[in-house]
Chains A and B, each alone.
Chain A
Amino acid sequence: MNHAEAAVAFNRDENRVDWHDETLWFVRSKRDRAAQTLPEWEQLREAASQIKNHVLSNMHDLLTQFEQNALANGITVHWAADAAEHNAIVHKILVDNGVNRMVKSKSMLTEECHLNPYLTERGIEVIDSDLGERIVQMRNEPPSHIVMPAIHLKRADVGDTFHKHLGTEAGATDPQYLTEAARQHLRDTFLTRRVALTGVNFAIAETGGFVVCTNEGNADMGVHLADVHIACMGFEKIIPRAEHLSVFLRLLARSATGQPITTFSSHFHKPRRGYGRRGDGRRGDGRPGQQMHIVIVDNGRSRQLGRPEFRNSLKCIRCAACLNTCPVYRRSGGHSYHSAIAGPIGSILAPNIDMKQNADLPFASTLCGSCSNVCPVKIDIHEQLYKWRQVLMQEGYGPTAKTVSMRAMAGVLESPRLYRLAGKVGRGVLRFAPVLAENNLNPWYQHRDMPEAPGESFREWYVKRVMSDER
Chain B
Amino acid sequence: MNVGLFIPCYVDQFYPQVARATLQLLESLGCTVAYPLDQTCCGQPMANAGYAHLTDGCNQNFIRNFSGFDYIVAPSGSCTLHIKHHLHGKGDTDERAAQQIQSRIYELTEFLTDVLRVESLPTRLPQRTVVGLHQSCHGQRGLNLAPMSELMREQGISKPAYLLRLVEGLELVDLDRRDECCGFGGTFCVTEEAISVKMGKDRLADHQRHGVEVITGVDVSCLMHLQGILRRQKSSVQVKHIAELLVKSEK
Q: Which residue of B lies closest to A398 (CB)?
A: B50
B192 on interface, CB distance cutoff 8 Å = yes
A416 on interface, CB distance cutoff 8 Å = yes
Known: A4-B194, A373-B151, A462-B35. A448 touches B202 (CB 8 A): no
Q: How far is the CB of A452 from chain B (nearest CB, A)?
A: 8
A445-471 CB mask vs B (1 if < 8 Å, else 0) is 011111111101111011100000000
Q: How far is the CB of B193 from chain A (nearest CB, A)?
A: 4
Give CA–CA (A462, B20) in the complex, Å: 8
Q: Which residue of B lies closest to A452 (CB)?
A: B14
- A451→B15 contact, CB < 8 A: yes
Q: How far is the CB of B24 from chain A (nearest CB, A)?
A: 11
- B9→A413 contact, CB < 8 A: yes
Known: A444-B189, A448-B229. A454 touches B14 (CB 8 A): yes
A94 on interface, CB distance cutoff 8 Å = no
B19 on interface, CB distance cutoff 8 Å = yes
- A414→B192 contact, CB < 8 A: no
Give CA–CA (A363, B196) in the complex, Å: 12
Give CA–CA (A454, B20) in the complex, Å: 13
Q: Which residue of A lies closest to B78 (CB)?
A: A367
- A448→B198 contact, CB < 8 A: no
Chain A: interface residue count, which band?
Answer: 35 or more
- A390→B53 contact, CB < 8 A: yes
- A327→B199 contact, CB < 8 A: yes
- B45→A409 contact, CB < 8 A: yes
- A419→B50 contact, CB < 8 A: no
- For residue B186, which residues in chain A have a CB less than 8 angstroms away from its CB? 366-367
- B16→A327 contact, CB < 8 A: no
Q: How far is the CB of B68 from chain A (nearest CB, A)?
A: 18
Partner of B51, one of A410, A423, A461: A410
Q: Which residues of B198-232 are within 8 A (CB) of A?
A: 198-200, 202, 224-225, 227-229, 231-232
A435 on interface, CB distance cutoff 8 Å = no
Q: How far is the CB of A49 from chain B (nearest CB, A)?
A: 14
Partner of B40, one of A7, A332, A364, A414: A414
Give CA–CA (A369, B199) in the complex, Å: 15
- B13→A414 contact, CB < 8 A: no
Known: A21-B202, A410-B54. A369 touches B191 (CB 8 A): no
Q: Which residue of A lies closest to B42 (CB)?
A: A413
B2 on interface, CB distance cutoff 8 Å = no
B149 on interface, CB distance cutoff 8 Å = yes
A41 on interface, CB distance cutoff 8 Å = yes
A8 on interface, CB distance cutoff 8 Å = yes
Q: How far is the CB of A29 from chain B (nearest CB, A)?
A: 9
B1-40 CB mask vs A (1 if < 8 Å, else 0) is 0000001010111111101100100000000000101111
Of B113-121, B162-170, B175-183, the segment with at least 4 beta carbons within 8 Å of chain A is B175-183
Q: How far is the CB of A380 from chain B (nearest CB, A)?
A: 12
- For residue B56, which residues in chain A have a CB less than 8 angstroms away from its CB? 414
- For residue B11, which residues in chain A have a CB less than 8 angstroms away from its CB? 458
Of B57-65, B87-95, B100-108, B126-134, the segment with at least 4 beta carbons within 8 Å of chain A is B57-65
- A363→B199 contact, CB < 8 A: no
- B13→A423 contact, CB < 8 A: yes
Q: How far is the CB of A329 from chain B (nearest CB, A)?
A: 10
A6-18 CB mask vs B (1 if < 8 Å, else 0) is 0110110010011
Q: Which residue of B lies closest to A397 (CB)?
A: B50
Give CA–CA (A369, B191) in the complex, Å: 19
- For residue A18, which residues in chain B have a CB less than 8 angstroms away from its CB? 202
Known: A11-B195, A423-B12, A449-B228. A42 touches B152 (CB 8 A): yes
A36 on interface, CB distance cutoff 8 Å = yes
- B14→A453 contact, CB < 8 A: yes
Give CA–CA (A220, B158) in the complex, Å: 48
Q: How far is the CB of B225 from chain A (nearest CB, A)?
A: 7
Q: How far is the CB of A145 from chain B (nearest CB, A)?
A: 17
B157 on interface, CB distance cutoff 8 Å = no
Partner of B137, one of A10, A332, A367, A453: A367
A29-44 CB mask vs B (1 if < 8 Å, else 0) is 0001001101001100
B184 on interface, CB distance cutoff 8 Å = yes
Query: Which residues of B are at the interface with A, using a C-beta cutoff of 8 A?
Result: 7, 9, 11-17, 19-20, 23, 35, 37-41, 43, 45-58, 60-61, 137-138, 141-142, 148-153, 177, 179-181, 183-200, 202, 224-225, 227-229, 231-232
The list of the 5 closest CB pairs from A to B, nearest first, reads: A414-B57, A366-B185, A448-B228, A393-B50, A389-B50
Query: Which residues of A are at the interface with B, using a C-beta cutoff of 8 A?
Result: 3-4, 7-8, 10-11, 14, 17-18, 21, 25, 32, 35-36, 38, 41-42, 325, 327-328, 331-332, 362-370, 372-374, 386, 389-390, 392-394, 398, 402-403, 406-407, 409-411, 413-416, 419, 423, 426-427, 443-444, 446-454, 456-459, 461-463
Q: Can you name 22 A-B residue pairings with CB atoms under 8 Å?
A: A41-B153, A363-B191, A364-B192, A367-B138, A369-B137, A389-B49, A406-B54, A410-B55, A410-B57, A423-B12, A427-B13, A427-B14, A444-B228, A448-B200, A449-B227, A454-B14, A454-B15, A454-B16, A458-B16, A458-B20, A459-B37, A462-B37
Q: A4-B192, A393-B53, A450-B228 are in contact. List 15 more A-B contacts (CB 8 A).
A: A7-B192, A36-B152, A327-B180, A366-B188, A367-B186, A368-B181, A389-B48, A406-B51, A413-B9, A415-B61, A448-B197, A451-B14, A452-B14, A454-B14, A461-B16
